[in-house]
Amino acid sequence: MTINSKIQNINCCDHIARRVGDIAPSGIRKFFDLLASMDGVISLGIGEPDYPTPYHIREAAISSIENGYTMYTPNSGIPELRQELSKHLKNTYNLDYADSQILITVGVSEAMDLAARALVNPGDEVLIPDPCYVSYSPCVVLAGGVPVMIPTCEEERFEISAEKIEPLITEKTKALLIGYPANPTGTIMPREKLEEIVKLANQHGLIIISDEIYSRLVYDCEHTCIATLPGAYENTVFLGGFSKAYAMTGWRIGYAVGPASIIAAMTKIHQYTIMSVPTMSQVAAVEALRNGETSAAEMVADYNRRRLVMVKGLCDIGLSCFKPQGAFYAFPSIKNTGMTSEDFAHNLLMEEKVAVVPGNAFGRCGEGYVRCCYATSLKELYEALERMERFLKKRGASQAATFQV
Amino acid sequence: MLNKILRLLEDDGRLTPEQIATMLGTETSQVKELITQAEKDGLILKYKAVVNWDKIAEEQVWAIIEVRVTPQMKAGFDAIAERIYKFPEARTVMLVSGTYDLAIIVTARNMHEVASFVTHRLAPIEGVQGTTTHFLLKRYKEDGVVLDDKNKGMRQKVVL
């Protein structure tokens, strides 16, 4: 009795660690809850492929379970997978990564957290593009660091540049955390601009953490892997995964490759917190690397068609949108509607049951934009565009916008 | 380009030339031209809907009939196939490798009609050595579409 009453007196909120409590609860949480409670919604808010994992990959995992291959694996991943990955990176980018430079992780999400924790001392600054994927800043904050945002804008296709980065560098700057092709903008970085950024990073002794989860999803162009650029290999932690290329989001598997010392530090944290990535997922990833290219290529071709439909559709109904060359997002401007991103998303959901993600969820520079994921069936895309047009027409905002190529 | 257009139409025959042009990053006029030509050349035979008949209460049976035939001098299997495909009951007629020669897909209002087709029309044809009739019991996947997709709607509504 006494123990119970004592427990009840504790205000749990006071016990939450400050660095966690200080992370502002996302303002769009309410919007998501509302969305979750509604039926008949066409969602352009889902950041994952709409395909199930190709069957041969699923089958590999099933047989691993059937054969009882269900125990822990080595911390850094099963040797077969590390070898396959090493081969894959050699064939795709002509990059050499030794066994000691490879760590299999629970998605890029874990890899990023490990990289931040392995590199950041309290107060260290990490440069991050704005807008960017939602977990970049929190990862840095949770590691004790200070995120410093690199503002970008639509006029420059949301690209970052050495000129933009240089004035933000201080003696506390430790690393640059970037991800291209980018979520939420679909931006890819031109090679020359990346080369200058690498040069700048080297001048200031910065580590580059590069999230290349969308590397397989590029259209009309080739992906530039940062680690292949002159002077980059030695100071780049290259994060990749299987989720987007092989439609394997739920398997939670990715990897980090890079300088042996950093990978060793990351592995140390991984070993004490995760131990090893689920065995079946690793077996599935081996199959994906060995035989998944055909399915991946088919999916990319399909995303490309939807991308073209989406971008043209958005422009036709009056939302200007630069042509994204990677990932599966369009990031149209909604500024001419006079609404904020959140109001736009909220009203669109209530009036027409189409879900898009307010751009400000991805940073201040995302305000005035919404993220539309086109990894959904063409039928739904056309229907969503029709509903959006009706929504805009009601407000007299629908006039074909300039189609920027 | 033509192959890409045909693939898209094979998946969705109702796509407009404008939509196809957008998807393939080309001009509407070019798509229109290629489609018209493909129709003329018999590359596109017809446009149709994939129907889930199981959901419709109309009585209709489907059967797959294996036919073993003696090939004829000169004409081979073609002459017999031709005699068979002229029957309106035969929706699809194919020459296949393996233990039999022709595979026929037949639709009729009931089993009786199929039986009558086999005994009165198919079996008496000269050169037909024997037939095996398989009645369709349940359809799971049709033209690439899973009919009762239990896994639909498993995605989250929003993922960042």
pLDDT digit of tens for each residue in chain B (160 aa)? 999 999 999 999 999 999 999 999 999 999 999 999 999 999 999 999 998 888 887 888 999 999 999 988 788 899 999 999 999 999 999 999 999 999 999 999 999 999 999 999 999 999 999 999 999 999 899 888 888 877 777 788 888 8
A306, HSE (Cβ side, Cα atoms, 13 Å): 29
Q: What residue type is assigned to position B124 of the chain?
A: P
Residue B74 covered by a domain:
yes
Residue A375, CB half-sphere, CA atoms under 13 Å: how many?
25
B19 and B85 share one domain: no
Count the Cβ atoms, other than its own, within 10 Å of residue A186.
32
| Spatial contact of A213 and A179, defined as CB atoms under 8 Å apart | yes
The DSSP call for residue A400 is: P
Q: What is the mean pLDDT of residues A339-352?
A: 96
Would you call A312 an interface residue with chain B, using a CB distance cutoff of 8 Å?
yes
Residues B61 and B36 placed together within one structural domain of the fold: no
Task: Tell me the pLDDT tens digit for each residue of A290-325.
Answer: 999 999 999 999 999 999 999 999 999 999 999 999
Same domain, B58 and B101: yes
Residue B108 belongs to some domain of the structure: yes
Would you state the pLDDT for residue A405?
Answer: 46
Q: How many domains does chain B have?
A: 2
Distance from CA of A309 to the nearest CA of B (A): 6
- Among the residue ranges A192-196, A226-230, A397-401, B95-99, the one predicted with the least confidence is A397-401
Tokens standing for residue A295: 């399915």
Burial of A143 (0-12, 13-18, 19+ CB in 10 A): buried
Domain span at B8? 2-40
Domain holding B95: CATH number?
3.30.70.920
Specify the CATH number for A55-291; select among 3.40.640.10, 2.60.120.260, 3.30.300.30, 3.40.50.2000.
3.40.640.10
Q: Does B151 touch chain A (CB under 8 A)?
A: yes
Position A401 pLDDT exceeds 80: no
Residue A403 has pLDDT above 70, yes or no: no
Q: Mutate one of A32, A298, A362, A371 to test the B interface: name it (highest B CB count within 10 A).
A: A32
pLDDT tens-digit readout, A51-77? 999 999 999 999 999 999 999 999 999
Radius of gyration over every alpha carbon of chain A, rounded to an integer in angstroms: 22
For B26, name the nearest residue in chain A, comparing CA atoms only. Answer: A308
The residue-averaged pLDDT of A109-118 equals 98
Same structural domain, B76 and B128? yes
Which ranges constitute the DSSP H helices of A317-377? 341-352
Tell me if B148 is assigned to some domain: no
Q: How many CB atoms lie within 10 A of CB B6?
A: 15
How far apart CA A321 and CA A333 sit, in angstroms, is: 6
Whether residues B64 and B131 fall in one domain = yes
* Average pLDDT value for chain A: 94
CB distance B12–A35 less than 8 Å? Answer: no
Look up the ipTM and state it.
Answer: 0.79
Structure-model confidence comparison of residues A2 and A88, the more confident one:
A88
| SS3 of residue A173 by DSSP | strand
Domain shared by B23 and B67, yes or no: no
Largest interatomic CA distance in chain A: 71
- Inform me whether the pLDDT recorded for A6 exceeds 70: no
Rounded to a whole number of angstroms, the distance from the CA of A190 to the nearest CA of chain B is: 22
Give me the phi and psi of A19, to 5 degrees please: -65, -25
pLDDT in tens, A134-174: 999 999 999 999 999 999 999 999 999 999 999 999 999 99
Cβ contacts of A307 on chain B, cutoff 8 Å: none
- In a domain, residue B143? The reply is no
CATH superfamily entry for domain A24-52+295-404: Aspartate Aminotransferase, domain 1 (3.90.1150.10)
State the Cα–Cα distance between residues A85 and A92, nearest whole angstrom.
Answer: 10
Q: Cβ–Cβ of B155/A36 closer than 8 Å? A: no
| A145 neighbors A135 (Cβ within 8 angstroms) | no
Contacts with B159 from chain A: Cβ below 8 Å? 45-48, 249
Residues in chain B: 160
Assess whether B64 and B24 both reside in one domain. Answer: no
Distance CA A309, CA A382 (A): 8
According to the per-residue pLDDT averaged within each range, which of A10-14, A393-397, B45-49 is highest? Answer: B45-49
Mean pLDDT of A372-376: 96
Determine, yes or no, domain membership for B84.
yes
CA-nearest residue to A50 within chain B is B155
Encoding tokens for residue A233? 């290999």
Query: Which residue, among A43, A109, A135, would best test binding to B if mutated, counting the most B CBs under 10 Å from its CB?
Result: A43
Q: Is residue B35 located within the same domain as residue B60?
A: no
Q: Is residue B48 part of a domain?
A: no
> Average of pLDDT values for A196-205?
98
At residue A222, what are phi and psi to the nearest 5 degrees? -105, 145
Residue B71, pLDDT score? 84
Domain ranges of chain A: 24-52+295-404, 55-291
Q: Are residues B35 and B93 in the same domain?
A: no
If one compares A96 and A29, the residue with the highest pLDDT of the two is A96
Band the pLDDT of A3: cuts 50, 70, 90.
Answer: low
Asked if A244 contacts A213 with a C-beta cutoff of 8 angstroms, the reply is yes
Lowest mean pLDDT among A7-16, A170-179, A378-387, B139-148: A7-16
| Chain B residues inside the 8 Å CB shell of A308 | 22-25
A47/B contact by beta carbon, under 8 A: yes
Q: What percent of chain A stands above pLDDT 70?
A: 95
Long-range contacts of A13-17 (CB under 8 A, 24+ apart): none
Tell whether B107 and B64 lie within a shared domain: yes
| Residue bearing tokens 């003329």 | B40
Q: Is the pLDDT of residue A257 over 60?
A: yes
Do B83 and B116 lie in a common domain? yes
The reply to whether B65 and B122 lie within a common domain is yes
Pairwise pLDDT comparison (A14 vs B132), residue with the higher score:
B132
